[in-house]
Structure 1
Amino acid sequence: MILKKKAFIEELNGVQSINGTVSFQGVNLNVFCYVTDGVLIDTGGESLHKQFAPFLLEQDYDQAWITHHHEDHTGGAAFIQKTRNIPVYIHNMSIEEVLGKADYPIYRQLFWGRRKSFKALPLSNTMKSRNANWEMIETPGHSDDHLAFLNQQTGQLFTGDLYVNPKTKVTMQSESIPTIIESLKTVLTYQFGDVFCQHAGLVSNGREMIIHKKEYLEEIQYQVLKLHSEGYSKKEIQLSLFPKKYPITLFSSGDWDSIHIVESVLFEGN
């Protein structure tokens, strides 16, 4: 299988960033890493090692924080730990997992490579960078260990995979729409300006877009429950709300699918 890979480096409102893309037969996946005030936020995927290595080696940082354990965010952690000998931090619940052998579906291994094991320290509720205090905000839904990072001095918010896009059409089977809605509500209780997403980059009008996503998911939740109360089956609800099919559904053998949105709402709604 031939994957097409590329990476682009730029500065976004004072934050250094690299955006790497992996493409195969109509499926295009990307991931951002950021460096700000001596902190590397996320480390990219192992499959993008060649593209990310110069950035990871040359940028000015002395610690790394990881938003969650997924392989496109942790794939470079072992490399920077070995080459730069710096501490890597992650949610406490994932320390044992990243220390062990990576275990995730083959299609994800094909796209993002096999994440090497690394030793991580637990992120505290608050962290310090060179010139700022940070709030570590619990934002589960995409994964149980998911965190968003808020720079209290600059107001910049790094949201990992909480935002991604304003109108979610497919999710992984493990994701929870109701929990994501609650996490979006949580971040909206904080004051912030710039929003940096690990897949969308710098989000223009970040607060408004997070509100927009919350309201969109709330409407989807309402429609799913309404149609279910009217006697529609899960499949009928899916076809009504999400008629379009996406290449990632076939490629992932259904691990990414709109049916999971319907199922998560119905399961937790009941």
Structure 2
Amino acid sequence: MMNEHSINTVIPMPKVQVETRVIGDVHAFKGQYKRFGYPARFCLYYVDGLLIDTGPPHARRAVCGWLEDKPLDRIVLTHFHEDHSGNAGELSRRHKVPVLMGGETARILSDPPRLPLYRRVVWGQMDAVSGRTLSDPLETAKHRFRVVPTPGHTADHVAFVEEEKGWLFAGDLFLSNRLIYGMRGESVPQLIDSLRRVLAYPVQTLFCGHSGVVSDGRSALEKKLRFLEWLREESCRLADRGLSPREISRRLLSGGKMMEWVTLGEFSPVHLIRSIVEKRG
């Protein structure tokens, strides 16, 4: 049987497929590689000297290469997860620029937790990062971003809205119109509140941390909100009839079993249902 050390050493670093595009002032980077036959996707955004999220450690070479010809002033993080913060320390050192993040993100990344094995294999273990605390608004030479707390995916999650342009840099707030599983600790009620919060701004273009650029971002966010509101309503109705969270997840959320097995339960449909029924009044 392979131990953790041998697993980490025999699996080579992935070959990252890169797609880049420019939307107005925004340079978008979409990276993809495979682990366990599953496409690991991530997106980064550069605008006016500001880098929003940094990608996973396993894609460090590709990310650093993309930024070589770009004048970098600051790095900002939406949340602490390794596929968003994984290259922050290295890029900060290379470019001699600060990393900006929320207070809770900074606390976690000052001494990051040892990740479960599958996350180290898929994304890589992030290093400790020190930086500065975000303040609202976040301004560059040409743009002004509102820093919007958007918990739900994680407690420390924030998003960035450029009101004049109608841009939302959403981190992992959106991901897709529907969810078939959630991460342990993810909260559907908080996601609903966060989606309503960003929709109070004049958002048009959505820059997602995994899905990429969504031109009709407002419509996509509204669809996600309607789905989560439906999921909450139906979950509460079934819970009132005496069904367990596991039974409810089987009725309302199809798929996700392979992800639950691979992640040893860290990702599962039942986490979404539990976040609803355990908090209902």
TM-score normalised by the chain length of structure 2: 0.91
Aligned partner of residue 73 in structure 2, secondary structure: strand
Say yes or no: does 1:129 pair with 2:140: yes
Q: Tell me how far 1:99 sits from its aligned partner.
A: 1.9
- 2:137, 2:146 within 8 Å by CA — same for their partners in 1? yes
Structure 1 distance, partners of 2:241, 2:53, is 44
Instruction: Indicate the residue corresponding to 1:8 in structure 2.
Output: 18
Inter-CA distance 263–56: structure 2 relative to 1 (3 Å threshold): same
Q: Tell me how far 1:182 sits from its aligned partner.
A: 0.5
Instruction: Indicate the residue corresponding to 2:95 in structure 1.
Output: 84
Instruction: State the superposition RMSD in angstroms.
Output: 1.5
Deviations 1:170-204 (A, max 9, x none): 11011001100000000011112211001011113
Structure 2 distance, partners of 1:168, 1:60, is 37
Instruction: Indicate the residue corresponding to 1:106 in structure 2.
Output: 117
Which residue type is aligned with residue 197 of structure 2?
T
- 1:181, 1:214 within 8 Å by CA — same for their partners in 2? yes
The partner residue of 2:223 within 212, 222, 226 is: 212
Aligned partner of residue 67 in structure 2, secondary structure: helix
- 1:102, 1:117 within 8 Å by CA — same for their partners in 2? no
> How do 1:19-168 and structure 2 match up within 5 A?
19-168=30-179
Say yes or no: does 1:193 pair with 2:204: yes
Structure 2 distance, partners of 1:100, 1:232, is 40
Larger mean Cα displacement after TM superposition, 218-227 or 3-12: 3-12
Structure 2 distance, partners of 1:238, 1:180, is 18
Q: Tell me how far 1:267 sits from its aligned partner.
A: 1.1
Q: Tell me how far 1:212 sits from its aligned partner.
A: 0.5
Which residue type is aligned with residue 53 of structure 2?
D
Identity %: 28
Aligned partner of residue 68 in structure 2, secondary structure: helix
The number of residues matched between the two structures is 270
Which residue type is aligned with residue 249 of structure 1?
E
Deviations 1:143-189 (A, max 9, x none): 11111101233221100000000001111011001100000000011
TM-score normalised by the chain length of structure 1: 0.95
Which residue type is aligned with residue 24 of structure 1?
R
Which residue type is aligned with residue 218 of structure 2?
R
- 1:46, 1:72 within 8 Å by CA — same for their partners in 2? yes
Q: Tell me how far 1:22 sits from its aligned partner.
A: 3.2
Give unpaired runs (5+ residues) of structure 1: none
Aligned partner of residue 21 in structure 2, secondary structure: strand
Instruction: Indicate the residue corresponding to 2:184 in structure 1.
Output: 173
Give unpaired runs (5+ residues) of structure 2: 1-10
Structure 1 distance, partners of 2:18, 2:207, is 16
Aligned partner of residue 146 in structure 2, secondary structure: strand
Structure 2 distance, partners of 1:127, 1:52, is 23
Structure 1 distance, partners of 2:22, 2:67, is 17
- 2:182, 2:271 within 8 Å by CA — same for their partners in 1? yes
Structure 1 distance, partners of 2:227, 2:112, is 37
Deviations 1:31-81 (A, max 9, x none): 111101111000001111122120133223211111111111111111111
Aligned partner of residue 128 in structure 2, secondary structure: coil
Structure 1 distance, partners of 2:142, 2:93, is 26
Q: Tell me how far 1:2 sits from its aligned partner.
A: 5.3
Structure 2 distance, partners of 1:163, 1:44, is 17
Aligned partner of residue 163 in structure 1, secondary structure: coil
Which residue type is aligned with residue 47 of structure 1?
H
- 2:53, 2:77 within 8 Å by CA — same for their partners in 1? yes
Inter-CA distance 245–138: structure 2 relative to 1 (3 Å threshold): closer
